[in-house]
Amino acid sequence: MRARFLAILRLGGGALPAGRIEQAGTAASKLDLLVHTDRLLLWSNGGMVAPGHVGQAIVGELFERGSMRPQRSIADAGWAAIGRSRGQILVERYWGAYVAFAAEQHRVAVVRAPLGDVGCFYARTPDALMMASDIALLRDAIGRSPSVDAQALVRHIAWPEWRRDETCLESVRELRGGDRLLVSPDGVACETLWSPWAFVARDWLIDDPDEAARAIGQAVRVSVSARAASSNRLLLLLSGGLDSAIVAASLARVQADFSCLNLVGDDAASDEQSYAGLVARSVGAELHVQSFDLKRVDVGRSGAAHMPYPVHRCFTQAQDSLAAEVAERQGADMILDGGGGDNVFFASRSVSILADCLIVGGFDRRFRSATRTLGDLGQAGCLSLAGKAVHRAWCRSPAPRQAASDAFLSDMAKAVVAQTPPHPWFMPPPGVVPGRASHAALLVPAQNLVEAINAQAAPRAVSPLVTQPVIEACLRIPSWHWLAPGRDRAAARHAFERDLPAAIIDRRSKGTPTGFVATIFDCHRRAIREMLLGGRLAALGIVDTAALARALDIAGPVRDLRFVRIMDLVDAEAWARAQS
């Protein structure tokens, strides 16, 4: 069961407004009242509460560093330390999926776990700050449905995997993982307690490949076991790729009760069942194979209708419904996957890695080996790569770049995009080398994967590779250790090479659902045309309807990847309609 909560925090002086308390109490009728002070009321379906009337509570799962078992209680000294630090000690000594509250006489501190999948949304009213784990609770508490914020929606469409503190609903904001909200008579202030930049400093490096592999292996096994501990039986979405195979090996190592599901499309690129079968046999798990079914996809329905932004892609409707059915038949109450592994394990074939080698050691053995490996993986010439590496090391900022996805956006929308500042994880502090900066930037989609999750979905879905312990361990590994002859994600492959078949460890190819998405586009082209040319995005002035019409009127099967961009707009349109 995923944690849910609703809270009222006092703004300014005086008591919490009685009318607001009554309305929130009605919204939280199925939750228990955990904290009742003059500055904070907190309802939840479970959590730890500090003894006495001190106004401290933690909702969700909390683990001590290195522990696989969730905390069931905290000693008085621990609660005192949490209060004194206003929750910062939680980020330093613990990890998990939680939101913590610490009420003092004059303020309340709220901390959300780094990369935790318990949501934390809030909205200001004239007399209080309302905060909830999901939008449904928040809407009931404030007594209204917020309208769509057109400019925020434009920014989401341009960078769909970037999460900021804004949502695509007017007046609704989100506390990001690793941030702390301080609510006091002086107002509401947000500050960052955790970011990847703390772990890329040179004095944190693990520059020994064997030690790096041990650190990754330990962090992954702890995280997978800990996140699975609250489940009686698990279903693992086993793609056949490296990342979900690592989760399978970690579950097998702790003798978890799990079975596997592999989903197959109607094209060769998405058929991974032979690799999935190889992994399942190696870990002794039962494998179920199901085919994607086009009838399960409704382009007019948003899988993120209960979220404050359109974060779910329509093709996943087929995956989600199949997985839920198999989980129910198997008696599984949690679904795991290997999501985010590419990002966490730095699956990059970029010259930024070579630039790091040049900056740290010049044209040494590391640079030569990485250049040969990158040339082999990318089928590029070593001389060409060396030239690009020199330019990347000394002629460019170490900050990575990500162009906005602005195809088919209107001029107004493009103007909004042009004024958007970069994500903070794309802005390295001084002294960070390009490859390390690229690794931090790759974590932005991983953060989105776990933090922007639909809390209403059942059964509970968890991506255990995207956790604070795993990411902190991986960020300490220099970029050149992620490359080895014939291998990307080399440090992760090294960590699990004794637990998985050689065919998985050495595999270079990777399946993709792109063919299934193309089939959805072709089969629903007429409905998509009607949706986008006469829908909410057009009414809000976000899309260039003339450019869309030209693209949608091209006869025959799709010939390029423009349909992928159009399907992103379909997701945004379906979400926007659901907010009406």
Residue 477 clears pLDDT 70, i.e. is over it: yes
Query: Could you give all domains of the chain from N- to C-terminal order, each with its CATH number?
Result: 5-194 (3.60.20.10), 348-405+422-442 (no CATH)
Q: SS3 of 58, please?
A: strand
CA distance 566 to 547: 11
Q: Where are the alpha helices (DSSP H) in 362-402?
A: 365-378, 382-394
CA distance 507 to 490: 11
Summarize the confidence of residues 241-262 as an average pLDDT.
96
CA distance 366 to 389: 13
Report the DSSP beta bridge partners of residue 100.
58, 111
- The answer for residues whose C-beta is within 8 angstroms of residue 352's C-beta and 6 or more apart is 392, 400, 434, 435, 437, 438, 479
Amino acid 268: pLDDT: 65
- CB contact at 8 A, 539 and 575: no
- The answer for residues whose C-beta is within 8 angstroms of residue 22's C-beta and 6 or more apart is none
Summarize the confidence of residues 202-212 as an average pLDDT.
92
pLDDT band of 456, cuts 50, 70, 90: low
CA-to-CA separations, 531 to 7, 117, 414, 522, in angstroms, rounded:
38, 32, 21, 15
What is the residue-averaged pLDDT of the chain? 93
Task: Tell me the per-residue pLDDT of 54-81, one tens digit each, with 9 for 90 and over.
Answer: 899 999 999 999 999 999 999 999 999 9
> 556: which 2 tokens?
């025959």
Residue 511 clears pLDDT 80, i.e. is over it: no
- CB contact at 8 A, 218 and 435: no
**pTM for the full model?**
0.95
- The answer for residues whose C-beta is within 8 angstroms of residue 80's C-beta and 6 or more apart is none
- Among 209, 122, 189, CA closest to 480: 209
CA distance 443 to 461: 19
Question: Which range among 133-137, 315-319, 478-482 shows the weakest confidence by mean pLDDT?
Answer: 315-319
Report percent pLDDT > 90 for the chain.
81
Task: Tell me the per-residue pLDDT of 550-575, one tens digit each, with 9 for 90 and over.
Answer: 999 988 777 777 889 999 999 999 99
Task: Tell me the per-residue pLDDT of 127-165, one tens digit each, with 9 for 90 and over.
Answer: 899 999 999 999 999 999 999 999 999 999 999 999 999
Summarize the confidence of residues 197-207 as an average pLDDT.
90
Torsion of CA 543, 547, 549, 555, to 10 degrees: -140
Residue 42 clears pLDDT 90, i.e. is over it: yes
Tally helices (H) and strands (E) across the chain.
23, 17
pLDDT band of 478, cuts 50, 70, 90: very high
Amino acid 515: pLDDT: 82
CA distance 283 to 501: 10
Summarize the confidence of residues 227-246 as an average pLDDT.
94
Amino acid 289: pLDDT: 95
- CB contact at 8 A, 87 and 178: no
CA distance 21 to 345: 46
CA distance 368 to 240: 32
Task: Tell me the per-residue pLDDT of 363-396, one tens digit each, with 9 for 90 and over.
Answer: 999 999 999 999 998 868 999 999 999 999 999 9
pLDDT band of 269, cuts 50, 70, 90: low
Q: Quick one: the chain helix, strand, coil %, rounded to 5? A: 45, 15, 40
Amino acid 254: pLDDT: 93
Summarize the confidence of residues 235-249 as an average pLDDT.
96
> 362: which 2 tokens?
């010049």
Q: Cα-flanking dihedrals φ and ψ of residue 129, to 5°? A: -110, 120
Q: SS3 of 77, please?
A: helix
Summarize the confidence of residues 518-527 as an average pLDDT.
91
Q: SS3 of 254, please?
A: coil
CA-to-CA separations, 561 to 233, 395, 470, in angstroms, rounded:
39, 32, 33
- CB contact at 8 A, 563 and 516: no
Residue 13 clears pLDDT 70, i.e. is over it: yes
> 80: which 2 tokens?
């005192």
CA angle 248, 251, 253 (to 5 degrees): 110
Residue 455 clears pLDDT 70, i.e. is over it: no
CA distance 19 to 141: 11
> What is the end-to-end Cα distance of the chain in Å, rounded?
29
Report the DSSP beta bridge partners of residue 192.
179
Tell me how far the alpha carbon of residue 178 is from its chain's centroid.
13
Is 414 buried (19+), middle (13-18) or exposed (0-12) by CB count in 10 A? middle
> 250: which 2 tokens?
């970690």
Question: Which range among 401-415, 513-527, 553-567 shows the weakest confidence by mean pLDDT?
Answer: 553-567
Summarize the confidence of residues 35-58 as an average pLDDT.
92
Question: What pairing do the DSSP bridges indicate for beta strands 187-192 and 234-237?
Answer: unpaired
More confident residue, 554 or 120: 120
